[in-house]
Amino acid sequence: MVYVTPGVDFLAKGFLILGAFVGTIITLNSSVAARAGYHIPTWMLLAGTTIAIPVLSTIYKMMENLKIGYPGDGLDEVMAKRGPVFNMRVLWSDLMFTASPEHIKAMLATDFQNYVKGERFHYNMESVLGTGVFNSDGTSVPFHRSITRPMFTRERISHFELFDRRASQVIDKLRERLREGYAVDFQDLMSRFTLDAATEFLFGNCVESLSAGLPYPYNATYVPPIKRTAKGDAANAFAHAFLEAQEVISVRERYGWVWPLAEIFKDKSYEPMKIVNSYIEPIVKEALEKKRNLPIREKGKEPSDGETLLDSLVRVTDDPVVLKDETLNIMIAGRDTTASTLTFIIYMLATVPNIMNRLREEILSKVGNSRRPDYDDIRDMKYLRAVINETLRLYPIVPFNVRESVNASTWKSDDPNQKPFFIPAGTKTAYSVFMMQRRTDLWGPDAEVIDPDRWLDERLKTYVSKNPFIFLPFNAGPRICLGQQFAYNEMSFMIIRLLQNFTSVELHPGSAPPEAHPPAVWAEAGGRKGIEKVFPKMHLTMYTNGGLWVKMTESDGTN
C-alpha cells in the first residue's frame, strides 16, 4: 500500500477544490463579459476574492496565546464585551463558543443527539485514538461504554490494594530525593504514579515508570549517575512517546482543518505510536492467548477481583485492534487527567497552607498517621472532597472541549432581550468549563478565590445545588466520564497517604526550569492570572509547564 502523509492527502484534495474555485471564477467572469460587454482581469478577481477571505492573523494570535497566554486569553476579552456566547469564525468556518451552562447542558444532555464529536474530530484523532471510546459517535457509543463499564463498579474502583502499593513507592521515592536535599517535580511523580496504576489496572502489566528514577532539577550541581536498566529505559521511552502522541493530536485540533499542512512530510504521530504500540500489542496478543484458558463468565456477572480491563474485553471481542484502541483510550482518559489534578491539588496546598493544615487535621483524625484508608473513610472526609472539587473548579483538567451540530438549532441568549443564536447544521461548537467555573455571576463575587469552604457552607445551596450544570469537570449526560469515581478514589487515596507522611509542602521556584515560571506580564493582569505561580498550559488536558517543583517536610510520626 502506498503511504500518503496527512499533508499530501490534504493538498491532493485541496487542489481539486482550488481548481474548482478558480474554474468557477473564470467561467463566471466570461459569462459576465459576454452579457455585459466588459471584462475584469482574472488576476484582479482572484486577488480581490483572496483578500476578502478572513486573514490568518486570527490563527496566528491563537497560536501566540497558546505559547505565552493564560488559558482563555483572547476569549475572555471577547466574553467581557459580548457575553458568554459568540461566533469565533476561524478561517471561513463558523465556530460558536460558549461558557454558558444552558448551552453546555443542551450539548451534553438535553439535546445530546444533536451534538457529536464529528467527522473532522475523528479524522484528526484517528492515528492515535483509532476506534476507541473517545473517538466514537452515534450508535457505537453505547457499545464502547457497555464493554468497559463493568470495570467501574464500586468494588472495582476501590482498588485500594493496588493504589497502596503504588502510593508507598511514590512516598519512598519522594522521601529519598528530598533527603538528598533536592526539590521534586511533583507533576512528573504523579504522572509516573498514574501510569503505573493505569497499566496495572488495565493490562495487569505495569510499566514500572516509578522504578526508572525521578528527574533532578535542571540546575542541580551534582547529578548522581542513574542506574539504567532495560525496563527503566523502556518505561521512559513509553511515557515520552505516549505524551508526544497526545500532543500531536491536540495540536491538530488547534490548527483546525488546515492541520495536515503541518504534516506534509510525515504523520507526526507515526513514530511515537510505533513505541506505544510495541508495548501494548504483545500484551493484547498474550491476553488473547490466555482467553482460551479463562472460565466462561455468566452473562451479567461482574468481573472477578483479579481480572483486568483487558481480561474483561477479550471476552467480548477477539479483534486485536479494538482491544488495543479501547485500552489505550481508557489510559489516555484516565492517566494525565488524574495526575494533573493531583498536581494542581498540591499546588493549592502549597500556596494556601491553611488548607493544607485543615486537610491534614481531617485525615489524621479519621485514619491516624499510618492506617490504610478504606472506601468509607474516604466517603466521610468532607473537607478532602471539598479540596478536590475546588481544584477541579478552578483548574478543570479538560478546560476546553468541542462538539459539532448535526441539525440546525438555536441557543437561548443569556440576555432575555436578545434573540436566540442560530446554530446551523455542521457548526463546530466549542465550550469552556474553565471559563464557566470562574464566572462571578454564576459562582459569586469570590469566584476566583481558592476556597474549599464554598462546597460546605451556604454557598453550595446558593450556587451549585441550584444549577449543577455550572460545575462540569467530568462533563455530563450520556457521555459523562466513566472513571469519575475511580478518579476520586485514586486521588483521595494518594492525598491521604501523602499527608500522613508529610506535614507541609512549599513551591521551590529555584529548582524549576525557566519555562515553568509564568511570564512576567501576567503580574499586571487581574484575577488568578495575576497571582499564578505556575504556568498552566494545555495539550489534550491542562498541565503545569515545566513541572511543579516542591519541597515537603517529613512527619516525625507524632502528628
CA distance 517 to 365: 37
CA distance 494 to 164: 8
CA distance 195 to 198: 5
- DSSP annotation of 262: G
Q: How far is the CB of 121 from ligand HEM (least distance, A)?
A: 9
Q: How far is the CB of 108 from ligand HEM (least distance, A)?
A: 8
Choices 35-43, 94-102, 234-242, 481-489; region in contact with ligand HEM by CB under 6 A: 481-489
334 near ligand HEM, judged by CB under 6 A:
yes
Grid coordinates belonging to 298? 455468566
Q: What is the DSSP string of 459-492?
A: HHIIIIIT-GGG--TT--GGG--TTHHHHHHHHH
CA 533 to chain centroid: 21
Q: How far is the CB of 395 from ligand HEM (least distance, A)?
A: 10
The residues in 390-409 that bind ligand HEM, with binding defined as CB under 6 A, are 397-398, 401
133 near ligand HEM, judged by CB under 6 A:
yes
Strand partners, 405: 115
Choices 86-94, 291-299, 327-335, 501-509; region in contact with ligand HEM by CB under 6 A: 327-335
Choices 123-131, 270-278, 410-418, 471-479; region in contact with ligand HEM by CB under 6 A: 471-479
Q: How far is the CB of 350 from ligand HEM (least distance, A)?
A: 19
| Residue 473 or 536 having the CB closest to ligand HEM | 473
Grid coordinates belonging to 141? 457509543
CA distance 311 to 338: 23
Among 246, 337, 492, 501, binds ligand HEM (CB under 6 A): 337
Strands 95-98 and 428-432: parallel
> In sequence order, which residues have a C-beta less than 8 Å from that of residue 102 and are 6 or more positions away?
411, 412, 414, 469
Q: How far is the CB of 107 from ligand HEM (least distance, A)?
A: 10
Per this entry, what is the length of the chain? 559
| Residue 136 or 409 having the CB closest to ligand HEM | 136
The residues in 265-324 that bind ligand HEM, with binding defined as CB under 6 A, are none
| Residue 269 or 541 having the CB closest to ligand HEM | 541
| Residue 10 or 238 having the CB closest to ligand HEM | 238
452 near ligand HEM, judged by CB under 6 A:
no
| Residue 134 or 543 having the CB closest to ligand HEM | 134
429 near ligand HEM, judged by CB under 6 A:
no
475 near ligand HEM, judged by CB under 6 A:
yes
SS (H, E, C) 100-139: CHHHHHHHHHHCHHHEECHHHHHHHHHHHHCCCHHHCCCC
Residue of closest CB approach to ligand HEM: 483
Q: Please, are residues 310 and 284 in contact by the beta-carbon 8 Å criterion?
A: yes
User: Does 206 appear as a known binding residue?
Assistant: no
SS (H, E, C) 53-102: CCCCHHHHHHHHHHHHCCCCCCHHHHHHHHCCEEECCECCECEEEECCHH
389 near ligand HEM, judged by CB under 6 A:
no
Strand partners, 553: 504
Q: How far is the CB of 512 from ligand HEM (least distance, A)?
A: 23
Among 10, 115, 134, 434, binds ligand HEM (CB under 6 A): 134
338 near ligand HEM, judged by CB under 6 A:
yes
343 near ligand HEM, judged by CB under 6 A:
no
193 near ligand HEM, judged by CB under 6 A:
no
| Residue 235 or 398 having the CB closest to ligand HEM | 398
Three-state DSSP state, 505:
strand
CA distance 59 to 106: 28
The residues in 484-513 that bind ligand HEM, with binding defined as CB under 6 A, are 486-487
Q: Please, are residues 505 and 350 in contact by the beta-carbon 8 Å criterion?
A: yes
Q: Please, are residues 355 and 349 in contact by the beta-carbon 8 Å criterion?
A: yes
Size of the site for ligand HEM (CB under 6 A): 22
Three-state DSSP state, 395:
coil
469 near ligand HEM, judged by CB under 6 A:
no
Q: How far is the CB of 134 from ligand HEM (least distance, A)?
A: 5
Indicate the helix (H) or strand (E) that contains 320.
Answer: helix 320-351
Q: Which residues are annotated as a binding site?
A: 481
Question: Which residues in this chain contact ligand HEM in the complex, by CB under 6 A?
Answer: 133-134, 141, 145, 330, 333-334, 337-338, 341, 397-398, 401, 473-475, 479, 481-483, 486-487
Q: Which residues are annotated as a binding site for heme?
A: 481
